[in-house]
Amino acid sequence: MPELPDVTVYLEALETRVRGKRLERVRVLNPFLLRTADPPISSIEGKTVTDLLRVGKRIVLELEGDLFLVVHLMIAGRLHWIDKGSEKRGRNVLALFEFENGTLSLTEAGTKRRASVHVVRGDAGLKTLDPGGLDVMRVELAQ
């Protein structure tokens, strides 16, 4: 399972690639990946990434219009960056997020398909995906 340090590294890598970039197109290649219907995934197309966050072990792309793309990689999910113009795609691709400067590919090894993608609106929507509890990456020793 991608643990918190792995999620942190993903966020750092995404920061330089997608912050301030427009998400041009989303292609969900496995219908079981997308776990929300409202707002529709098409609502994030054409939006610019304004921030990157972590909610538990989930990677969150904040987009203009108060929308959030939440990715939970689970045990075997991985993100791969494909530079603009490159055709490499890889195996076990569940979704492609096409940005103006490249494509973020979500893959998952194995057959269980536990990774998930949610699109939520506003802080209230994002809060519904927060598992709660103590955030070990932000806790003080006294806590």
pLDDT tens across the length of the chain (143 residues): 457 788 999 999 999 999 999 999 999 999 899 999 999 999 999 999 999 999 988 999 999 999 999 999 988 899 999 998 887 777 799 999 999 999 999 999 887 889 999 999 999 999 888 877 666 666 777 76
pLDDT given at position 1: 45
Question: What residues does each domain of the chain span?
Answer: 4-127
Helices and strands (H, E) in the chain, number of each type: 2, 8
Burial readout 35-66 (b: 16 or more C-beta within 10 A, e: otherwise):
ebeebebeebeebbbeebebbeebbbbbbeee
What is the CATH code for 4-127?
3.20.190.10
Q: Is the peptide bond before 39 cis (omega within 30 degrees of 0)?
A: yes
